[in-house]
Amino acid sequence: GESVGLHLPTLSVQEGDNSIINCAYSNSASDYFIWYKQESGKGPQFIIDIRSNMDKRQGQRVTVLLNKTVKHLSLQIAATQPGDSAVYFCAELRNTGNQFYFGTGTSLTVIP
């Protein structure tokens, strides 16, 4: 079946390094993507979004890249900090409706 999945379930990085979290999707009808950060015991927090008419979008310390050819989405976090430790997951909205589909998530651990 179709799914939104992440390549790596866990990721550890040194404080100050850049982090890259990947997400693969399989439905070419998806046209809107969002990255969320979820800390333990809390609801997901909106980080950044991107629509299918773009291939890159930047926020504060974060960049999302979209490669529609290979159906791949990535979240780059610059100068990773201990406060960035959390589970990150992507969500895709398929243009056939208002339904969001979520990936399993990648647990990011920042090593001081």
Binding site for another protein (CB under 8 A): 32, 34, 36, 41-46, 49, 89, 91, 93, 98-100, 102-105, 107
Q: How far is the CB of 43 from another protein (least distance, A)?
A: 4
- CB nearer to another protein: give 45 or 67: 45
Q: How far is 19 from 77, CA to CA, in rounded Å? A: 5
Burial of 32 (0-12, 13-18, 19+ CB in 10 A): middle
Nearer to another protein, 10 or 67 (CB): 10
